[in-house]
């Protein structure tokens, strides 16, 4: 048998290459650039979400009026910044810093800063508008009187 000379084995380097590290850092930078604006609350997104919730409650009020064949009233209290369906216990609070303004018929104003919008069994309503404002931005929730249609739109500053 022949003698083999023992060659020292070359050790594989442990760790990551510079290119691998650069790729990972680049991916992290891209992900953070995408996720940070989504995760940090902004007044515009907060206001839009609040307007969407008000519109949902208005639609629920209209649905209840139609399904129960009786009039139902959506109420807004601009003093406490709360809103809900009259007679229901689960009124909602607007986000901190949000101001609400209600435009409705004079006969539906109940005390200082409190009023409502009525919905009828045929789906129509007394009509009106809820305007939400925060940090110089405003969003309108309009309720058409004839059809009871509810529309959310941003108000130009």
Tell me: pLDDT of 11 over 70. Answer: no
Tens digit of each residue's pLDDT (9 = 90 or more) over 111-152 = 888 999 999 999 999 999 999 999 899 999 999 999 999 999
- CATH number at 123 reads 3.55.40.10
Q: How many domains does the structure of the chain reveal?
A: 1
Structural domain for 114, as ranges: 43-155
User: Could you tell me the pTM of the whole model?
Assistant: 0.76
Tell me: pLDDT of 13 over 90. Answer: no
In this structure, is residue 70 part of a structural domain? Answer: yes
In this predicted structure, what is the pLDDT of residue 111? 83
Tens digit of each residue's pLDDT (9 = 90 or more) over 49-105 = 999 999 999 999 999 999 999 999 999 999 999 999 999 989 999 999 999 999 999
Cα 155 to chain centroid distance, Å, stands at 16
DSSP notation for the chain: -PPPPPPPPPPPPPS--HHHHHHHHHHHHHHHHHHHHHHS--HHHHHHHHHHHHHHHHHHHHHHHHHHTS-EEEEEETTTTEEEETT-S--EEPPTT-EEEEE--GGGB-STTEEEEEE-TTS-B--EEEEEEETTEEEEEEE-TTT--EEEEEEP-
9 confidence band (pLDDT: 50, 70, 90) = low
């Amino acid at each position: 048998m022949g003698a083999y000379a023992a060659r020292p084995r070359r050790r594989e380097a442990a760790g990551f290459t510079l290119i691998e590290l650069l790729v990972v850092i680049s991916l992290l930078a891209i992900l953070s650039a995408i996720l940070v604006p989504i995760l940090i609350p902004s007044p515009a997104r907060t206001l839009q979400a609040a307007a969407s919730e008000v519109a949902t409650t208005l639609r629920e009020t209209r649905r209840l009026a139609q399904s129960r064949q009786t009039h139902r009233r959506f109420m807004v209290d601009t003093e406490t910044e709360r809103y809900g369906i009259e007679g229901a216990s689960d009124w909602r609070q607007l986000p901190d810093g949000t101001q609400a303004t209600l435009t409705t018929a004079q006969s539906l104003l109940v005390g200082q800063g409190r009023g409502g919008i009525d919905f009828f069994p045929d789906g129509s309503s007394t009509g009106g508008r809820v305007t939400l404002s925060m940090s110089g931005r405003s969003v309108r929730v309009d309720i058409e009187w004839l059809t009871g249609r509810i529309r959310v739109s941003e108000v130009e500053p």
